[in-house]
């Protein structure tokens, strides 16, 4: 099926579902705002703009501010498409038939031209920032919880069109990762490696779905390491890259860890840890089946990490004991993964399909996804193993610290850490690893 046909089918499904939800929640019309360019206080430099996820779930316009989608049950949606007369900035591109055919597109020069549409006597719902919508409609409910929850839940089950965009975004990320690895092996700096990633993507950094993590050596122990050093390292032990790409407003989120060419006993041990983590991560991806609890998969990851720690000689005791004592959480302090879509950390991960809160276990407060997997879900699976000094210090002071080979920990700490992350589509016939397929396509 062509991309045009996939998109048309996607919009038909969204219209059918929205018609049902409007009837169920008692609203006559729904407005979805793309968002508005924002400026920090005391500054006139605009913040990077990205449209709200509910808007880009309908329209491939992630960089089109102040547009409004107007949806009435049983009618073709109206898109109020802002193309201002402006010599300071370029307006969004003209509508393209492959998506515009699904909408009644009205070109406007200012947001004022659609604002009057919100002043209606019907029961009206609107999604967007309250500051941008408040006061525009007397009968308007902004982000009504019941409707918003249902729409969030719908977004957890991706259409064929959406999965196609996420796969294409993985293909772009795979090319960038390949280029970044080559730059790492050539001894380049974190900034130079990031620049290689961008060249491999052939994309503007402003279009990335999140700011990539480019971490050499011990920096890989900082989970969301935010800097890019300009100096080349004297010794490139390890390289962790967590970076994705965007296609039509849909994100990929990919992480790989590499060991440098410098030969040493510690380097060999760390390479063994990377290989073991890759094997565990692949097993976890295969276990991402319809009906499986993501919380159980997270616990499975901890048991696997416990085995890796034991086999490497980093910790002694049974795998169950290493998990129960909290030792594995020192080395793997984050969650196994999250939903992925128009947002990198996509919506409804901690809410049941019925809208009830589904918080993470007390032992794993960082887990972003607690649901049972369903057909159509797209999730990240990203186990890790890190040598984080502040957490290791706490463990060393605790009774469980007696089970750790601290000399080996000290030797491996300069290598930072390991994370391997793929994007997996859950289908009735089994998981489809979009990331591994994208890397395989490069060969």
Q: Which helix (H) or strand (E) holds 105?
A: strand 104-108
Report the chain's C-alpha Rg in angstroms.
24
Cα–Cα distance measured from residue 433 to residue 431, given in angstroms and rounded to the nearest whole number: 6
Backbone angles phi, psi at 86, to 5 degrees: -150, 125
Partners of residue 140 on adjacent β-strands: 124
Show which of 121, 155, 189 is a domain's final residue: 155
Show which of 129, 155, 181 is a domain's final residue: 155
* Each residue's pLDDT tens digit, 99-158: 999 999 999 999 999 998 988 778 999 999 999 998 887 789 999 999 999 999 999 999
* Each residue's pLDDT tens digit, 192-218: 999 999 999 999 999 999 999 999 999
* Same domain, residue pair 13 and 73: yes
pLDDT confidence of residue 26: 94
17 pLDDT above the threshold of 80:
yes
* Same domain, residue pair 175 and 148: no
* Same domain, residue pair 165 and 306: yes
* Same domain, residue pair 46 and 165: no
* Same domain, residue pair 87 and 124: yes
* Each residue's pLDDT tens digit, 311-364: 999 999 999 999 999 999 999 999 999 999 999 999 999 999 999 999 999 999
β-strand 124-127 against 140-142: which pairing, if any? Answer: parallel
* Same domain, residue pair 105 and 36: yes
Mean pLDDT of the chain: 96
Decide: 244 and 210 in contact? Cβ < 8 Å.
yes
* Each residue's pLDDT tens digit, 155-190: 999 999 999 999 999 999 999 999 999 999 999 999
Q: 368 falls in which pLDDT band (50, 70, 90)? A: very high
Angstrom CA distances, 436 to 28, 183, 290, 328, 347, stand at 44, 21, 20, 27, 24
pLDDT confidence of residue 125: 95
Cβ count near 396 (within 10 Å): 14
Cα–Cα distance measured from residue 305 to residue 412, given in angstroms and rounded to the nearest whole number: 16
pLDDT confidence of residue 2: 82
Q: CATH code at 321?
A: 3.90.230.10
* Same domain, residue pair 150 and 166: no
Cα–Cα distance measured from residue 225 to residue 240, given in angstroms and rounded to the nearest whole number: 10
Contacts of 441 (CB under 8 A, 6+ apart): 171, 174
**Percentage of the residues of the chain whose pLDDT score is greater than 70:** 100
Higher pLDDT, 133 or 221: 221
Q: 89 falls in which pLDDT band (50, 70, 90)? A: confident
Distance of CA 218 to the CA centre of its chain: 24
Decide: 412 and 272 in contact? Cβ < 8 Å.
no
* Same domain, residue pair 328 and 344: yes
Cβ count near 318 (within 10 Å): 11
For residue 384, give the nearest of 335, 423, 416, 418 by alpha carbon: 418
Q: CATH code at 120?
A: 3.40.350.10
Give the position of tokens 């941008």: 132
* Same domain, residue pair 248 and 302: yes
* Each residue's pLDDT tens digit, 403-432: 999 999 999 999 999 999 999 999 999 999
Axis crossing angle, helix 160-185 with helix 3-25, rounded to the nearest 10: 120
Assign residue 355 a region (left: φ > 0; alpha: ψ between -120 and 50; beta: otherwise): left
Show which of 155, 185, 205 is a domain's final residue: 155
Decide: 303 and 336 in contact? Cβ < 8 Å.
no
* Same domain, residue pair 21 and 148: yes
pLDDT confidence of residue 443: 73
Helix runs in 26-156, H state only:
53-56, 97-100, 112-115, 130-133, 145-155
pLDDT confidence of residue 148: 97
Decide: 266 and 260 in contact? Cβ < 8 Å.
no
pLDDT confidence of residue 120: 79
Cα–Cα distance measured from residue 421 to residue 424, given in angstroms and rounded to the nearest whole number: 10
Domain of residue 41: give its range. Answer: 3-155
Angstrom CA distances, 162 to 10, 57, 425, 427, stand at 8, 8, 11, 14
Indicate the number of domains in the chain.
2
Partners of residue 427 on adjacent β-strands: 430
* Each residue's pLDDT tens digit, 252-292: 999 999 999 876 899 999 999 999 999 999 999 999 999 99
Which CB contacts under 8 angstroms, 24+ apart, belong to 6-10? 6/159, 6/160, 6/161, 6/164, 7/60, 7/98, 7/99, 7/102, 7/161, 8/101, 8/102, 9/159, 9/160, 9/161, 10/159, 10/160, 10/161, 10/162
Q: What is the dihedral of CA 174, 176, 178, 182, to 10 degrees?
A: -170
* Same domain, residue pair 129 and 202: no
Cα–Cα distance measured from residue 342 to residue 156, given in angstroms and rounded to the nearest whole number: 10
Burial 26-49 (b: 16+ CB within 10 A, else e): ebebbbbbbbbeeeeeeeeeeeeb
Q: 3 falls in which pLDDT band (50, 70, 90)? A: confident
* Same domain, residue pair 151 and 164: no
């Amino acid at each position: 099926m062509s991309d045009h046909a996939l998109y048309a089918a996607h919009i038909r499904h969204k219209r059918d579902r929205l018609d049902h939800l409007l009837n169920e929640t008692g609203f006559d019309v729904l407005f979805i705002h793309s968002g508005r360019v924002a400026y920090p206080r005391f500054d006139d430099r605009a913040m990077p703009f990205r449209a709200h996820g509910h808007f880009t779930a309908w329209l491939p316009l992630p960089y089109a501010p102040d547009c409004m989608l107007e949806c009435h049950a049983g009618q073709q949606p109206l898109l109020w498409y802002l193309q201002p007369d402006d010599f300071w900035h370029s307006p969004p591109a003209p509508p393209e038939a492959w998506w515009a055919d699904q909408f009644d597109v009205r070109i406007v020069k200012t947001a004022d031209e659609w604002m009057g549409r919100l002043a209606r006597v019907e029961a009206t719902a609107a999604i967007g920032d309250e500051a941008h919508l408040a006061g525009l409609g007397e009968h308007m409910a902004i982000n009504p919880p019941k409707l918003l929850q249902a729409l969030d839940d719908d977004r957890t089950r991706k259409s064929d069109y959406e999965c196609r965009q996420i796969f294409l975004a993985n293909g772009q990320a795979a090319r960038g990762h390949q280029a970044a690895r080559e730059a790492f092996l050539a001894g380049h700096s974190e900034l130079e490696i990031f620049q290689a990633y961008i060249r491999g993507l052939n994309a503007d950094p402003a279009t990335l779905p999140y700011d990539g993590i480019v971490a050499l050596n011990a920096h890989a122990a900082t989970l969301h390491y935010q800097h890019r050093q300009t100096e080349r390292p004297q010794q490139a032990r390890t390289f962790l890259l967590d970076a994705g790409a965007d296609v039509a407003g849909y994100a990929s989120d990919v992480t790989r860890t590499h060991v440098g060419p410098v030969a040493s006993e510690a380097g060999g041990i760390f390479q063994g840890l990377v290989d073991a983590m890759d094997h565990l991560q692949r097993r976890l991806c295969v276990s991402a089946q319809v009906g499986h609890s993501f919380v159980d998969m997270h616990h499975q990851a901890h048991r696997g990490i416990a085995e890796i720690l034991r086999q490497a000689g980093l910790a002694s005791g049974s795998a169950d004991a290493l998990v129960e004592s909290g030792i594995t959480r020192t080395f793997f302090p984050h969650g196994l993964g999250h939903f992925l879509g128009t947002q990198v950390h996509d919506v409804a991960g901690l809410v049941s399909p019925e809208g009830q809160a589904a918080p993470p276990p007390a032992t794993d407060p960082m887990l972003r996804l607690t649901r049972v997997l369903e057909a159509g879900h797209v999730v990240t699976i990203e186990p890790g193993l890190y040598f984080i000094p502040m957490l290791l210090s706490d463990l060393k002071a605790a009774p469980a610290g007696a089970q750790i080979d601290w000399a080996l920990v000290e030797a491996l700490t300069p290598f930072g850490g390991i994370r391997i992350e793929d994007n997996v589509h859950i289908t009735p016939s089994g998981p489809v690893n979009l990331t591994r397929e994208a890397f395989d396509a490069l060969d």
